[in-house]
A and B are shown apart, each in its own frame.
Chain A
């Protein structure tokens, strides 16, 4: 019951707040903060309660016998980790949008989003999963479209349409699964029950690949990321992309292991292409936020490569890399957005020498950047290393070429730092006053702290991540 309350409660609350509050009313900001903290507490509670293996049932609601259409709420370690990550990011995003304009509506939408995303990670009924999956689009559409930069409308409509079209493939796959197996629950469906697993695999793969995004389905992302306000870019990269990866793990890799085995080369190939293509694009970009967006895609390429191994260690690496990516990319987006907000330009040549004007913020940017290029001692390093090791283990030594991407990463990050943070102070920067709201600065510090802390003590995370996949290894879904 409480679980359902954490899904529908926020949605109803968001509608009420949007209806009754106007303009800059701070009530919805504080309700958002309180709610997200409650969600974090709830996720921690779930972590305590989880059984050794399998799902923790949280009740089922709204039963419709004819269509097997039941809101079944269950969590296992994998979904609990996603819930923890989501609620943590939501809190940090709330802090980092502390001074957002038209606060009341903004935070109502954020609250609405939190309900929908909790629904995605908690419901195991395919149709309800799909409902929440689609529902996350609505607040995102408005958040990008109302608070975005100049080309916000184009970006919002493109994002909405692109991902919505992809979702149609997912829905069709769910229908086929139900027709062939008579089951509408992802915790019950096994590959052996399906008559056309190949068709279903491809439909699901395309649908989730768009969300992740995997080359060549990534084109919505640079637009959406660039035009969205900085905290929303964090949500896009940290939660929405992870939603795609989560679904890919649960419904492609773990639900259809044999077909995944057959098409592992597709995953591997597209992962490598995504990794290198996005890295080269990032190297080429002079638009600061686009550079960050491409580096984000490049990191998702690493996740795909790790998934392609279909092994226990690979999936653990993928999940760690997902978490690392969320924490590393967030401060980069936030600070890039802050620089734009202050200087009025996205172009790197207009910046330069910011270190002299804003040393603390620049230092945070540098640490996050070093995390993105995988410097030892940061989360990025552990992520890249574990992906590299697991892929070498599965595919052989030639996978060492993944390390080359890390080199490219070092290239674009360090070059960007050279152009934006260090170097000659540009005339624009000289005129700008880089003062930041204290709450927003605090959220940045928390992000950077997490990058270093979990980079030094990765086992704190791996303990749970390994537990998430341990059970699948024993039932033979993983190598």
Chain B
């Protein structure tokens, strides 16, 4: 059967031939176009929308991207994302998960500056560790009587429980949950912004949805195990991410910490696993996040390349220089902050309601206050764009229409899912 995975894999392999020709970009765009339509026709109902959205975000990403090698890698990343989303047994999940982290490591290992080396090495070590833990956990799980070719056993033995616990720890690395987040902040802030968009925007979001899909039936039956574990991790992660983001001056670092904080919000879906809204919550959060986070990092890429903007001070008065790009960035940041009529708000609303629905209103209160706190650093970026006096000097006049089109696609997603919740729920 033709699945988006095979299409993207095939296009990815073929794309190598087209390097250094003008055909590569249209070729990759076609690949994601076809993958999206195949998802529309074949994917199961609960993942159909998300797969289409992953394809369209990667489509926008290709529009933005200029380097041949990254385009090919994006195709592979898309392929393994689709594989991961469609995995239904432990074996296929582990294989797809490892292929996704492998392609992520390859993505960052094409380094151009010294900073990127640091980010790449940290990511490599973290991935290696996570893989080790994942397989250790898997071993325990199999020793306890688990089957590779099936979904997780609901009625677990002690060894199976230990195995699942260790596997979850490994996955916490990938989902950048505190205390396994250390690599993520450096990697997201140091590698090129387009790679950071792929890693934090797409790869992490896909991983979170897949992990929820595989582990949800198991965790729902072991609430006394899952709920305290995830409450601790989620609360620490979001608080930590938000507080540290407050004190950063580098915009990429702020976004990196905000990405950690969002991992905390996503972990709330696991806290609320007994509620019927948890599934909707994580899906909504993933869809909103994939749009806003990718868009924010891609805009940052343009800012860095065209205006040499790195820190908050460089951004002063940017709205007078380029009002359109300033407005686009502000919209995405407000969405990340959870301001209404944008996807970020409804995503948070659904996921926080899931927590209230499972009876833990005080956890929801902590999350809400965290979300309110996070507005501080987003508002400060917006403040730099609009309220300060102009400081930036334009370097190059490379206003690329393709990159702008990419932003239009992403902002359309952010606004659409902020108003029309019925499409997801």
B143 at the interface (CB under 8 A from A): no
Contacts of B425 in A (CB 8 A): 64, 66-67, 69
A168 at the interface (CB under 8 A from B): yes
B58-66, B68-76, B288-296, B356-364: which lies at the A interface?
Answer: B356-364
Residues 86-143 (chain A) with a chain B CB within 8 angstroms: 127, 130-132, 134-135, 137-138, 141-142
How many residues belonging to B are interface residues under a CB distance threshold of 8 Å? 36
Contacts of A168 in B (CB 8 A): 365, 368-369, 371-372
Which residue on chain B has the smallest CB distance to residue A66?
B425
A414 at the interface (CB under 8 A from B): no
Residues 153-187 (chain A) with a chain B CB within 8 angstroms: 153, 156-157, 160-161, 164-165, 167-169, 171-172, 175-176, 178-179
Q: How far is the CA of A165 from the CA of B338 in the complex (A)?
A: 12
B110-118, B151-159, B256-264, B374-382: which lies at the A interface?
Answer: B374-382
In contact, B341 and A131 (Cβ under 8 angstroms): yes
Which of B350, B373, B387, B419 is within 8 Å of A152, CB to CB?
B387
Assuming the A-B contacts A66-B425, A161-B379, are A178 and B353 also in contact, with contact meaning beta carbons closer than 8 angstroms in the complex? yes
Which of B350, B371, B383 is within 8 Å of A156, CB to CB?
B383
In contact, B422 and A157 (Cβ under 8 angstroms): no
Which residue on chain A has the smallest CB distance to residue B334?
A138
Contacts of B420 in A (CB 8 A): 62
In contact, A171 and B334 (Cβ under 8 angstroms): no
| Proximity string of chain B (342-361) to chain A, C-beta cutoff 8 Å, 1 when within and 0 when not | 00010001101100110001
In contact, A127 and B349 (Cβ under 8 angstroms): yes
Q: How far is the CA of A446 from the CA of B110 in the complex (A)?
A: 68
In contact, B345 and A131 (Cβ under 8 angstroms): yes
What's the minimum C-beta distance from A200 to chain B, rounded to whole angstroms? 10
Q: How far is the CA of A135 from the CA of B334 in the complex (A)?
A: 11
Contacts of B368 in A (CB 8 A): 168-169, 171-172
B166 at the interface (CB under 8 A from A): no
A145 at the interface (CB under 8 A from B): yes
In contact, B421 and A156 (Cβ under 8 angstroms): no
Q: How many cross-chain pairs have Cβ atoms below 8 Å apart between A and B?
A: 94
In contact, B364 and A165 (Cβ under 8 angstroms): no
Which of B356, B388, B421 is within 8 Å of A176, CB to CB?
B356
Contacts of B386 in A (CB 8 A): 142, 145-146
Assuming the A-B contacts A64-B421, A157-B380, A157-B383, are A165 and B369 also in contact, with contact meaning beta carbons closer than 8 angstroms in the complex? yes
Assuming the A-B contacts A164-B372, A172-B365, are A134 and B383 also in contact, with contact meaning beta carbons closer than 8 angstroms in the complex? no
Contacts of B340 in A (CB 8 A): 130-132, 134-135
Which of A132, A153, A175 is within 8 Å of B383, CB to CB?
A153
How many A residues touch the partner, as a band?
Answer: 35 or more
What's the minimum C-beta distance from A425 to chain B, rounded to whole angstroms? 36
Which residue on chain B has the smallest CB distance to residue A153?
B387
Contacts of B373 in A (CB 8 A): 165
Which of B324, B361, B369, B379 is within 8 Å of A160, CB to CB?
B379
In contact, B387 and A160 (Cβ under 8 angstroms): no
In contact, B280 and A175 (Cβ under 8 angstroms): no
Q: How far is the CA of A50 from the CA of B165 in the complex (A)?
A: 61
In contact, B421 and A145 (Cβ under 8 angstroms): no
Contacts of B380 in A (CB 8 A): 157
B273 at the interface (CB under 8 A from A): no
A424 at the interface (CB under 8 A from B): no
Q: How far is the CA of A248 from the CA of B167 in the complex (A)?
A: 49
- Given A19-B327, A168-B371, A172-B352, list of 7 further CB < 8 A pairs? A62-B422, A65-B422, A130-B340, A137-B339, A168-B368, A172-B361, A179-B353
Nearest 8 interchain pairs by C-beta = A131-B340, A168-B368, A165-B372, A175-B356, A64-B422, A66-B425, A145-B387, A134-B340
Q: Would you list 15 pairs from A and B whose C-beta atoms are within 8 A, ordered by A residue?
A: A19-B324, A62-B419, A64-B421, A135-B339, A145-B387, A146-B386, A157-B380, A157-B383, A168-B365, A168-B369, A168-B371, A171-B349, A171-B352, A172-B356, A179-B357
